[in-house]
Amino acid sequence: MQPILEIRDAVRVFKTPEGGAVRALDGVNLDVDANEFVTLLGPSGCGKTTLLRAIAGFEDLDDGQVRVDGADLRRVPAFRRPVNTVFQSYALFSHMSVARNVAYALEVAGVGKDERTRRAGELLELVGLEGMETRKPSQLSGGQKQRVALARALISQPKILLLDEPLSALDRQLRQQMQVELKNLQDEVGVSFVFVTHDQEEALTMSDRIVVMCDGRIEQTGTPREIYRKPKSRFVANFIGETNMIKVTFDGKGTATSVEGIILKVSEAAPAGRATAVLRPSDLTLSDSKNAPAHAILGKVRQEIYLGAELHYLIEADAGGEYWRVTAKDEGVGFHTGQSVALSYDPDVIHLIEGDA
């Protein structure tokens, strides 16, 4: 099946006021399938917004192509693109009622009044705002504005919906609720979503596929599990949640040895040589050093942080090196600072990133 959106070697260079140049997009290639929920994830300034704006038609590419349904959009102005945007600031028309905002795309397309009213009603129902037709945007809460912006962008049945950090202005609880709602909505309307965020948790929750960006380039593309479990680079591993990264030498036959001499058992197949072992804090199990399992790493608790459902520990290995981060469920018994402990793990969960860097 042909992807609905194809981006080929996209390059966008901005001149900085200081006379330099920023490569906001530096050769981006990306395919998005129909009905797919793709998230662009990356730190601030990595080019996410620029990529969205290039798709929407607000930003010209210096090089490369944006294709929708196989058609090159180079000469197609924003108002003709079958792509709609939900803006970070919502960008609702404050002088119009909610209903007129939602029906705006139909209004400018010359659709009749009755049809517009009917469709706006449908869309408002879809986003759970029935009965708010006559309100002004200023009379809505942040979450409601968000829904109006969604309804407005969806009413003309675009092929692709672009969302630029739409949840970042909401408080935590509402954000989590909206994450679920957005995902359900996307399933319901069957439109491809390209969603931008710098919040890795948000990306993991919602996406069919995550695209991790860094400095105008795509670092890695994959399902949330792939991105979390098999990061291709230290950057990705670091960006997606807390992690332990240990520089090791791998013998190619299941044993990795760290600089400090800590031995790690690895099931993953990888070529021999230098590598970085990635271990998530929740993959490590703490036990008393007196009954340490085989291959356990011995160390001492340096810090314990109680977070309610979870406990976070920093463990210093007896062999030295960086502190290990461990997350444990609060099961009544904790380990206290200074206590000797053993760290054990399942060799299946260790991931190796090849190379020196």
Ligand X SMILES: Nc1ncnc2c1ncn2[C@@H]1O[C@H](COP(=O)(O)OP(=O)(O)O)[C@@H](O)[C@H]1O
Q: How far is residue 104's CA from residue 205's CA, in Å, rounded to a whole number? A: 31
The two three-digit tokens of residue 335, written as one number: 């380990």
Among 49, 85, 101, 192, binds Mg ion (CB under 5 A): 49
197 binds ligand X (CB under 6 A): no
Quick one: which segment of 23-31, 82-90, 275-283, 326-334 binds other proteins (CB under 8 A)?
Answer: 82-90
Q: Does 49 bind ligand X (CB under 6 A)?
A: yes
Cα 102 from Cα 149, distance rounded (Å): 7
d(CA 122, CA 156): 12
Give alpha helix (H) positions in 136-246: 142-154, 172-189, 200-206, 224-229, 234-239
Residue placing its CB nearer to ligand X in the complex, 47 or 137: 47
Residue 225 neighbours by CB under 8 Å, 6+ apart: none
Contact (CB, 8 A) for 278 and 348:
no
* Helix or strand run (H / E) with residue 122: helix 113-126
Contact between residue 328 and residue 344 where contact means Cβ atoms under 8 Å apart: no
Residue 116, class by beta-carbon neighbours within 10 Å (0-12 exposed, 13-18 middle, 19+ buried)? buried
Three-state secondary structure along 192-256? EEEEEECCHHHHHHHCCEEEEEECCEEEEEECHHHHHHCCCCHHHHHHCCCCEEEEEEECCCCEE
Angstrom distance (rounded) from CA 117 to CA 326: 55
- Asked if 246 touches ligand X (CB under 6 A), the answer is no
133 is an interface residue for other proteins by CB under 8 A: no
Pick the binder of other proteins from 100, 217, 230, 312 (CB under 8 A). Answer: 100
Tokens of 257: 């040895």
Stretch that binds other proteins, among 74-82, 202-210, 242-250, 340-348 (CB under 8 A): 74-82
24 part of the interface to ligand X, by CB under 6 A? yes
* Closer Cβ to ligand X, 50 or 276, answer by number: 50
Nearer to Mg ion among residue 102 and residue 196 (C-beta): 196
Q: Is 135 in the site for other proteins (CB under 8 A)?
A: no
Shortest distance in whole angstroms from residue 126 CB to other proteins:
17
338: CB partners within 8 A, 6+ apart: 300, 301
Residue placing its CB nearer to ligand X in the complex, 57 or 137: 57
Based on CB atoms, which residue is closest to ligand X, 44 or 94?
44
The verdict on 105 binding other proteins (CB under 8 A) reads yes
**Could you say which of Mg ion, ligand X, other proteins, none residue 78 binds, taking C-beta under 5 to 8 angstroms by partner kind?**
other proteins
Q: Per-residue x/- mask for other proteins, residues 11 to 30, rule CB under 8 A?
A: --------------------
Q: Which is nearer to Mg ion, 45 or 347 (CB)?
A: 45
Does the protein bind Mg ion through residue 50 (CB under 5 A)? no
Q: Which residues contact ligand X (rule: CB under 6 A)?
A: 14, 22, 24, 42, 44-50
Binding site for other proteins (CB under 8 A): 56-58, 77-80, 83-85, 87, 89, 91-97, 100, 104-105, 107-109, 113, 152-153, 156
